[in-house]
Structure 1
Amino acid sequence: MIKAVKTTLEGVIKIIPDSFEDFRGCYVEIYNKDLYKARGVEADFIQDDISVSSKHVLRGIHGDNETWKLVSCLLGRFYLVVVNCDEQSAGFGQWESFVLSETNRHQILIPPGFGNAHVVLSDQAIFHYKQSTYYNPSGQFTYKWDDPRLNIWWPVKNPLLSQRDETGKLV
Protein backbone atom coordinates (compact mmCIF):
# COMPACT_ATOMS: atom_id res chain seq x y z
CA MET A 1 0.00 0.00 0.00
CA ILE A 2 1.42 3.39 -0.92
CA LYS A 3 1.53 6.32 1.47
CA ALA A 4 0.84 9.91 0.36
CA VAL A 5 2.05 12.81 2.51
CA LYS A 6 1.16 16.48 1.95
CA THR A 7 4.12 18.86 1.90
CA THR A 8 4.35 22.54 2.81
CA LEU A 9 3.76 23.48 -0.85
CA GLU A 10 0.14 23.52 -2.04
CA GLY A 11 -0.48 20.58 -4.39
CA VAL A 12 2.94 18.96 -3.91
CA ILE A 13 2.67 15.43 -2.48
CA LYS A 14 5.41 13.07 -1.29
CA ILE A 15 4.58 9.47 -2.16
CA ILE A 16 6.19 6.50 -0.47
CA PRO A 17 5.59 3.34 -2.52
CA ASP A 18 5.38 -0.05 -0.88
CA SER A 19 8.23 -2.44 -1.52
CA PHE A 20 9.05 -6.08 -1.00
CA GLU A 21 12.56 -7.21 -0.08
CA ASP A 22 14.09 -10.63 0.38
CA PHE A 23 17.41 -12.41 -0.22
CA ARG A 24 17.13 -11.79 -4.00
CA GLY A 25 16.78 -8.02 -3.74
CA CYS A 26 13.69 -5.85 -3.86
CA TYR A 27 10.53 -5.24 -5.85
CA VAL A 28 8.83 -1.83 -6.02
CA GLU A 29 5.70 -0.88 -7.91
CA ILE A 30 6.50 2.70 -8.94
CA TYR A 31 3.10 3.54 -10.42
CA ASN A 32 -0.40 2.12 -10.32
CA LYS A 33 -3.08 4.48 -11.63
CA ASP A 34 -5.85 3.18 -9.35
CA LEU A 35 -3.75 3.19 -6.16
CA TYR A 36 -2.36 6.65 -6.88
CA LYS A 37 -5.80 8.04 -7.73
CA ALA A 38 -7.09 6.72 -4.39
CA ARG A 39 -4.32 8.80 -2.74
CA GLY A 40 -5.28 12.02 -4.57
CA VAL A 41 -3.11 11.79 -7.70
CA GLU A 42 -5.53 12.72 -10.48
CA ALA A 43 -2.96 13.40 -13.23
CA ASP A 44 -3.19 11.34 -16.40
CA PHE A 45 0.45 10.56 -17.21
CA ILE A 46 1.31 10.14 -20.90
CA GLN A 47 5.12 10.35 -21.12
CA ASP A 48 8.03 8.96 -19.10
CA ASP A 49 11.55 10.40 -19.20
CA ILE A 50 14.85 9.82 -17.45
CA SER A 51 18.04 11.81 -17.14
CA VAL A 52 21.33 10.22 -16.14
CA SER A 53 23.80 12.54 -14.45
CA SER A 54 27.08 12.43 -12.56
CA LYS A 55 27.98 13.75 -9.13
CA HIS A 56 27.44 17.50 -8.63
CA VAL A 57 25.46 17.97 -11.86
CA LEU A 58 22.58 20.37 -11.18
CA ARG A 59 19.57 20.43 -13.51
CA GLY A 60 16.81 23.05 -13.21
CA ILE A 61 14.83 25.05 -12.08
CA HIS A 62 12.54 24.00 -14.97
CA GLY A 63 8.81 23.68 -15.41
CA ASP A 64 5.74 24.85 -17.28
CA ASN A 65 2.17 25.85 -16.52
CA GLU A 66 0.46 22.70 -17.83
CA THR A 67 2.37 19.61 -16.73
CA TRP A 68 2.03 17.41 -13.68
CA LYS A 69 5.25 15.47 -12.94
CA LEU A 70 5.85 12.45 -10.75
CA VAL A 71 9.56 12.40 -9.91
CA SER A 72 11.63 9.54 -8.51
CA CYS A 73 15.22 8.31 -8.28
CA LEU A 74 15.90 4.95 -9.93
CA LEU A 75 19.63 4.81 -9.16
CA GLY A 76 21.83 6.77 -6.79
CA ARG A 77 20.78 9.77 -4.74
CA PHE A 78 19.86 13.38 -5.44
CA TYR A 79 18.69 16.52 -3.68
CA LEU A 80 15.44 17.75 -5.24
CA VAL A 81 14.05 21.27 -4.92
CA VAL A 82 10.47 22.15 -5.87
CA VAL A 83 9.67 25.87 -6.28
CA ASN A 84 6.32 27.62 -6.63
CA CYS A 85 6.84 29.56 -9.89
CA ASP A 86 3.22 30.72 -10.27
CA GLU A 87 3.59 34.50 -10.21
CA GLN A 88 -0.16 34.87 -9.45
CA SER A 89 0.10 32.69 -6.33
CA ALA A 90 0.52 34.01 -2.78
CA GLY A 91 3.11 31.23 -2.38
CA PHE A 92 5.24 32.41 -5.31
CA GLY A 93 8.94 31.76 -4.64
CA GLN A 94 8.36 29.30 -1.80
CA TRP A 95 10.34 26.08 -2.08
CA GLU A 96 10.84 22.77 -0.36
CA SER A 97 13.64 20.21 -0.68
CA PHE A 98 13.70 16.42 -0.59
CA VAL A 99 16.37 13.75 -0.84
CA LEU A 100 15.31 11.01 -3.23
CA SER A 101 17.29 7.81 -3.58
CA GLU A 102 17.16 4.27 -4.85
CA THR A 103 16.89 3.13 -1.23
CA ASN A 104 14.17 5.42 0.18
CA ARG A 105 12.13 5.13 -3.07
CA HIS A 106 10.21 8.35 -2.33
CA GLN A 107 8.41 10.10 -5.17
CA ILE A 108 7.31 13.72 -5.44
CA LEU A 109 4.19 14.84 -7.30
CA ILE A 110 4.78 18.31 -8.78
CA PRO A 111 1.81 20.35 -10.09
CA PRO A 112 1.78 22.73 -13.06
CA GLY A 113 3.28 26.14 -12.30
CA PHE A 114 5.99 24.65 -10.10
CA GLY A 115 9.60 24.25 -11.14
CA ASN A 116 11.94 21.52 -10.07
CA ALA A 117 15.70 21.18 -9.90
CA HIS A 118 18.01 18.49 -8.62
CA VAL A 119 21.68 18.05 -7.87
CA VAL A 120 23.29 14.61 -7.87
CA LEU A 121 24.82 13.52 -4.55
CA SER A 122 26.04 10.04 -5.57
CA ASP A 123 28.60 9.17 -8.24
CA GLN A 124 25.74 8.79 -10.71
CA ALA A 125 21.95 9.06 -10.51
CA ILE A 126 18.98 8.28 -12.71
CA PHE A 127 16.19 10.85 -12.40
CA HIS A 128 12.82 9.45 -13.56
CA TYR A 129 9.68 11.45 -14.18
CA LYS A 130 6.24 10.79 -15.52
CA GLN A 131 4.55 13.73 -17.26
CA SER A 132 0.91 14.55 -17.91
CA THR A 133 1.76 16.35 -21.19
CA TYR A 134 4.22 15.74 -23.99
CA TYR A 135 7.47 17.64 -23.60
CA ASN A 136 7.21 21.10 -25.16
CA PRO A 137 10.49 23.06 -24.98
CA SER A 138 8.84 26.31 -26.09
CA GLY A 139 6.40 26.19 -23.15
CA GLN A 140 9.12 25.75 -20.53
CA PHE A 141 10.40 28.28 -18.01
CA THR A 142 13.84 28.25 -16.40
CA TYR A 143 14.71 30.13 -13.22
CA LYS A 144 18.27 30.68 -12.06
CA TRP A 145 19.24 27.94 -9.61
CA ASP A 146 21.05 30.38 -7.29
CA ASP A 147 18.68 33.37 -7.43
CA PRO A 148 19.35 35.17 -4.13
CA ARG A 149 15.68 36.10 -3.73
CA LEU A 150 14.68 32.42 -3.65
CA ASN A 151 17.42 31.75 -1.09
CA ILE A 152 17.57 28.03 -1.88
CA TRP A 153 20.07 26.02 0.13
CA TRP A 154 22.10 23.68 -2.06
CA PRO A 155 24.43 20.95 -0.71
CA VAL A 156 26.94 21.72 -3.49
CA LYS A 157 28.65 25.11 -3.86
CA ASN A 158 29.96 24.81 -7.45
CA PRO A 159 27.63 22.51 -9.37
CA LEU A 160 28.12 21.44 -12.98
CA LEU A 161 25.55 23.35 -15.08
CA SER A 162 24.23 23.47 -18.62
CA GLN A 163 24.17 26.80 -20.44
CA ARG A 164 20.39 26.90 -19.97
CA ASP A 165 20.76 26.63 -16.19
CA GLU A 166 23.59 29.15 -15.98
CA THR A 167 21.52 31.79 -17.76
CA GLY A 168 18.04 31.18 -16.28
CA LYS A 169 15.93 34.20 -15.40
CA LEU A 170 15.94 35.80 -11.99
CA VAL A 171 12.69 35.95 -10.01
Structure 2
Amino acid sequence: MIIVEKTLLDGVYLVKPSVHEDSRGNFYETYNKKEYVNAGLCTDFVQDDISKSYKGVLKGMHGDSGTFKLVQCVYGSVYAVILNCDENSVNFGKWQSFILSDENRYQLYIPPMYGNGYYVLSDVAVYSYKQSTYYGDYNQFTYKYNDSRFKIKWPADASIISERDS
Protein backbone atom coordinates (compact mmCIF):
# COMPACT_ATOMS: atom_id res chain seq x y z
CA MET A 1 0.00 0.00 0.00
CA ILE A 2 1.18 3.52 -0.76
CA ILE A 3 0.36 6.86 0.79
CA VAL A 4 0.09 9.74 -1.69
CA GLU A 5 0.33 13.32 -0.46
CA LYS A 6 -0.25 16.52 -2.42
CA THR A 7 2.65 18.94 -2.43
CA LEU A 8 2.64 22.73 -2.82
CA LEU A 9 3.04 22.21 -6.60
CA ASP A 10 0.04 21.37 -8.80
CA GLY A 11 0.25 17.78 -10.05
CA VAL A 12 3.37 16.89 -8.02
CA TYR A 13 2.85 14.21 -5.37
CA LEU A 14 4.96 12.77 -2.58
CA VAL A 15 4.58 8.99 -2.53
CA LYS A 16 5.35 6.96 0.58
CA PRO A 17 5.53 3.21 -0.05
CA SER A 18 4.75 0.83 2.78
CA VAL A 19 7.78 -1.01 4.16
CA HIS A 20 7.89 -4.44 5.71
CA GLU A 21 10.69 -4.69 8.29
CA ASP A 22 11.88 -7.50 10.49
CA SER A 23 15.14 -8.75 12.00
CA ARG A 24 16.47 -9.68 8.54
CA GLY A 25 16.06 -6.18 7.06
CA ASN A 26 13.26 -4.70 5.00
CA PHE A 27 11.26 -5.06 1.81
CA TYR A 28 9.16 -2.57 -0.13
CA GLU A 29 7.71 -2.29 -3.62
CA THR A 30 9.17 0.55 -5.64
CA TYR A 31 6.27 0.40 -8.09
CA ASN A 32 3.01 -1.49 -8.42
CA LYS A 33 0.87 -0.20 -11.29
CA LYS A 34 -2.42 -1.26 -9.66
CA GLU A 35 -1.59 0.69 -6.46
CA TYR A 36 -0.61 3.83 -8.36
CA VAL A 37 -3.71 3.72 -10.58
CA ASN A 38 -5.90 3.27 -7.48
CA ALA A 39 -4.21 6.37 -6.03
CA GLY A 40 -5.02 8.36 -9.20
CA LEU A 41 -1.49 8.27 -10.62
CA CYS A 42 -2.33 6.65 -13.95
CA THR A 43 0.88 7.07 -15.94
CA ASP A 44 2.16 4.35 -18.26
CA PHE A 45 5.91 4.27 -17.58
CA VAL A 46 8.14 3.00 -20.40
CA GLN A 47 11.74 3.61 -19.31
CA ASP A 48 13.77 3.35 -16.10
CA ASP A 49 17.10 5.09 -15.55
CA ILE A 50 19.61 5.09 -12.69
CA SER A 51 22.16 7.79 -11.82
CA LYS A 52 24.99 7.23 -9.33
CA SER A 53 26.54 10.43 -7.94
CA TYR A 54 28.92 11.50 -5.20
CA LYS A 55 28.64 13.93 -2.28
CA GLY A 56 28.49 17.55 -3.45
CA VAL A 57 27.15 16.76 -6.93
CA LEU A 58 24.32 19.03 -8.04
CA LYS A 59 22.16 17.98 -11.01
CA GLY A 60 19.37 19.86 -12.72
CA MET A 61 17.03 21.62 -13.30
CA HIS A 62 15.90 19.39 -16.20
CA GLY A 63 12.52 18.49 -17.62
CA ASP A 64 10.44 18.48 -20.79
CA SER A 65 6.92 19.13 -22.04
CA GLY A 66 5.71 15.53 -22.27
CA THR A 67 7.28 13.27 -19.65
CA PHE A 68 5.87 12.17 -16.33
CA LYS A 69 8.51 10.92 -13.88
CA LEU A 70 8.57 8.91 -10.70
CA VAL A 71 11.88 9.55 -8.94
CA GLN A 72 13.47 8.23 -5.78
CA CYS A 73 16.84 7.84 -4.08
CA VAL A 74 17.36 4.10 -3.62
CA TYR A 75 20.75 4.46 -1.93
CA GLY A 76 22.08 7.38 0.11
CA SER A 77 20.28 10.72 0.34
CA VAL A 78 19.60 13.74 -1.82
CA TYR A 79 18.04 17.16 -1.44
CA ALA A 80 15.58 17.13 -4.36
CA VAL A 81 14.05 20.28 -5.85
CA ILE A 82 11.04 20.35 -8.15
CA LEU A 83 10.50 23.59 -10.11
CA ASN A 84 7.51 24.75 -12.15
CA CYS A 85 9.10 25.53 -15.53
CA ASP A 86 5.90 26.34 -17.44
CA GLU A 87 6.51 29.94 -18.51
CA ASN A 88 2.78 30.26 -19.34
CA SER A 89 1.73 29.32 -15.81
CA VAL A 90 0.98 31.82 -13.05
CA ASN A 91 3.05 29.46 -10.86
CA PHE A 92 6.15 29.62 -13.08
CA GLY A 93 9.22 29.56 -10.86
CA LYS A 94 7.47 28.10 -7.82
CA TRP A 95 9.54 25.31 -6.28
CA GLN A 96 9.58 22.89 -3.39
CA SER A 97 12.36 20.80 -1.85
CA PHE A 98 12.31 17.29 -0.39
CA ILE A 99 14.77 14.93 1.24
CA LEU A 100 14.72 11.60 -0.59
CA SER A 101 16.72 8.74 0.89
CA ASP A 102 17.06 5.00 1.20
CA GLU A 103 15.83 5.41 4.76
CA ASN A 104 12.55 7.27 4.13
CA ARG A 105 12.01 5.63 0.68
CA TYR A 106 9.94 8.62 -0.50
CA GLN A 107 9.20 9.06 -4.17
CA LEU A 108 8.14 12.10 -6.18
CA TYR A 109 5.59 11.88 -8.96
CA ILE A 110 6.39 14.73 -11.36
CA PRO A 111 4.27 15.83 -14.34
CA PRO A 112 5.59 17.43 -17.55
CA MET A 113 6.82 21.06 -17.43
CA TYR A 114 8.47 20.62 -14.05
CA GLY A 115 12.22 20.68 -13.62
CA ASN A 116 13.84 18.08 -11.45
CA GLY A 117 17.19 18.63 -9.75
CA TYR A 118 19.04 17.35 -6.74
CA TYR A 119 22.07 17.84 -4.52
CA VAL A 120 23.80 14.73 -3.12
CA LEU A 121 23.96 14.80 0.69
CA SER A 122 25.51 11.37 1.35
CA ASP A 123 28.91 10.06 0.24
CA VAL A 124 27.21 8.21 -2.64
CA ALA A 125 23.62 8.37 -3.90
CA VAL A 126 21.76 6.27 -6.43
CA TYR A 127 18.81 8.15 -7.96
CA SER A 128 16.15 6.30 -9.95
CA TYR A 129 13.94 7.76 -12.69
CA LYS A 130 10.84 6.01 -14.02
CA GLN A 131 9.66 7.86 -17.16
CA SER A 132 6.52 7.90 -19.31
CA THR A 133 8.44 8.58 -22.56
CA TYR A 134 11.66 7.35 -24.06
CA TYR A 135 14.64 9.61 -23.57
CA GLY A 136 14.88 11.97 -26.53
CA ASP A 137 11.19 11.89 -27.49
CA TYR A 138 10.92 15.49 -26.26
CA ASN A 139 13.46 18.29 -26.23
CA GLN A 140 14.63 18.82 -22.68
CA PHE A 141 14.79 22.21 -21.07
CA THR A 142 17.44 23.15 -18.52
CA TYR A 143 17.42 26.01 -16.05
CA LYS A 144 20.49 26.91 -14.07
CA TYR A 145 20.38 25.70 -10.48
CA ASN A 146 21.16 29.23 -9.30
CA ASP A 147 18.88 31.18 -11.67
CA SER A 148 18.16 34.35 -9.71
CA ARG A 149 14.47 34.33 -10.73
CA PHE A 150 13.78 31.25 -8.63
CA LYS A 151 15.85 31.84 -5.48
CA ILE A 152 16.22 28.11 -4.87
CA LYS A 153 17.82 27.44 -1.50
CA TRP A 154 20.31 24.60 -1.80
CA PRO A 155 21.80 23.01 1.36
CA ALA A 156 25.38 23.84 0.28
CA ASP A 157 27.30 25.29 -2.63
CA ALA A 158 27.65 22.99 -5.60
CA SER A 159 31.13 21.51 -5.51
CA ILE A 160 30.67 19.20 -8.51
CA ILE A 161 28.47 20.32 -11.39
CA SER A 162 28.36 19.49 -15.10
CA GLU A 163 28.91 22.08 -17.81
CA ARG A 164 25.26 21.62 -18.83
CA ASP A 165 24.05 22.56 -15.36
CA SER A 166 26.43 25.40 -14.56
With normalisation by structure 2, the TM-score equals: 0.98
Q: Tell me how far 1:158 sits from its aligned partner.
A: 3.2
The amino acid of 1:132's aligned partner reads S
The worse-fitting range, judged by mean Cα deviation, of 2-11 and 150-159 is 150-159
User: For 1:119-170, what per-residue CA distance to the aligned partner results, in whole angstroms no more than 9, with x for missing partners?
Assistant: 100000000010000001861010000011100000011331000001xxxx
Query: Taking structure 1 as reference, are residues 153 and 88 closer, same or farther at Cα in structure 2, changes over 3 Å only?
Result: same
Q: SS at the partner of 1:36?
A: helix
| Partner Cα separation in structure 1 for residue 68 and residue 100 of structure 2 | 18
Q: Which residue of 2 aligns with 1:25?
A: 25
Q: Which residue of 1 aligns with 2:9?
A: 9
Q: Tell me how far 1:30 sits from its aligned partner.
A: 0.7
Q: Tell me how far 1:47 sits from its aligned partner.
A: 0.2
The amino acid of 1:57's aligned partner reads V
Q: Which residue of 2 aligns with 1:47?
A: 47
Query: Taking structure 1 as reference, are residues 138 and 3 closer, same or farther at Cα in structure 2, changes over 3 Å only?
Result: closer
Q: Which residue of 1 aligns with 2:81?
A: 81
8 Å contact kept, 2:58–2:158: no
Q: Which runs of 4+ in 1 moved over 3 A?
A: none
8 Å contact kept, 1:72–1:127: yes
**Do structure 1's residue 135 and structure 2's residue 161 form an aligned pair?**
no
Query: Identity of paired residues, percent?
Result: 52
| Partner Cα separation in structure 2 for residue 137 and residue 149 of structure 1 | 28
User: For 1:102-122, what per-residue CA distance to the aligned partner results, in whole angstroms no more than 9, with x for missing partners?
Assistant: 000000000000001001000
The worse-fitting range, judged by mean Cα deviation, of 155-164 and 140-149 is 155-164
Q: Which residue of 2 aligns with 1:57?
A: 57
The amino acid of 2:21's aligned partner reads E
| Partner Cα separation in structure 1 for residue 5 and residue 78 of structure 2 | 20
Root-mean-square deviation (Å): 1.0
The worse-fitting range, judged by mean Cα deviation, of 131-140 and 72-81 is 131-140
| Partner Cα separation in structure 2 for residue 78 and residue 92 of structure 1 | 24
The amino acid of 2:86's aligned partner reads D
With normalisation by structure 1, the TM-score equals: 0.95
| Partner Cα separation in structure 1 for residue 125 and residue 103 of structure 2 | 12
Q: SS at the partner of 1:35?
A: helix
Structure 2, unmatched stretches of 5+, are none
Structure 1, unmatched stretches of 5+, are 167-171
Q: Which residue of 2 aligns with 1:169?
A: none
